[in-house]
Amino acid sequence: MEKVILLRFPILLLFLAVSCKQPTAKTEWTMTSDKSTWPDSDYLRPPIVPFDTNDYVIQLQNMPSFYGNPGEFGYILEGSNYGFDSLSFILTNTQPNYGPRVHVHDHEEAHILLEGEVLYYIGGKQLSAKGPYITRVPAGVPHTFINTGKKPFHLIGAFPRKRIVDKDIGPNPFIKDSIGQK
């Protein structure tokens, strides 16, 4: 009997240690389509729970959250803060009829969308895409997009750098209401 208890006790301790390590902080991933609840200004907030680079799974609560142009909320994963040498990501929740301001990066970017409809402006050209797709955005090319579907979507931006470098150029030309124009 004692051997059984002694063997189970370390397993129980291991279970408790792993369970205690899991953060319970709440994160936002989707935003409501009710514009009256959207933030009044842009923000960049630090992670709710710091990331331990000994971990392999990075959760939303481990990433800084942002709110940019009206209708776009998301998370930023700059690779250098998470153990990546040359990989970074942006995860967005983009509401219908909204998207980011026109901007440019000094590095290439890929957009991954599994479900949704988008109108892009990339380097002076307009193009439509319906998920699932991957869009290639060359380095140094001004670009933006707007969610042309009826539902919010989650877009992933992937960057081959440990830090994301971008520069805002101007408002999103596809956004027609006064909320989206600053």
pLDDT computed for residue 70 by the predictor: 81
**pLDDT tens digits, one per residue of 34-49:** 888 888 888 999 999 9
User: In the predicted model, what is the mean pLDDT of residues 2-10?
Assistant: 41
* Residue 30 pLDDT exceeds 90: no
Reply yes or no: is the peptide bond before residue 132 cis, omega within 30 of 0.
yes
Give the span between the Cα atoms of 182 and 173, in whole angstroms: 12
**Could you tell me the two tokens for 167?**
């520069």
**pLDDT tens digits, one per residue of 74-122:** 999 999 999 999 999 999 999 999 999 999 999 999 999 999 999 999 9
pLDDT computed for residue 26 by the predictor: 55
* Residue 61 pLDDT exceeds 80: yes
pTM for this one? Answer: 0.80
| CA angle, 47 then 66 then 109, to 5° | 105
Give the span between the Cα atoms of 157 and 155, in whole angstroms: 7
C-alpha to C-alpha distances, 175 to 9, 36, 118, nearest whole angstrom: 60, 17, 13
Q: Which residue has the tokens 């955005």?
A: 137
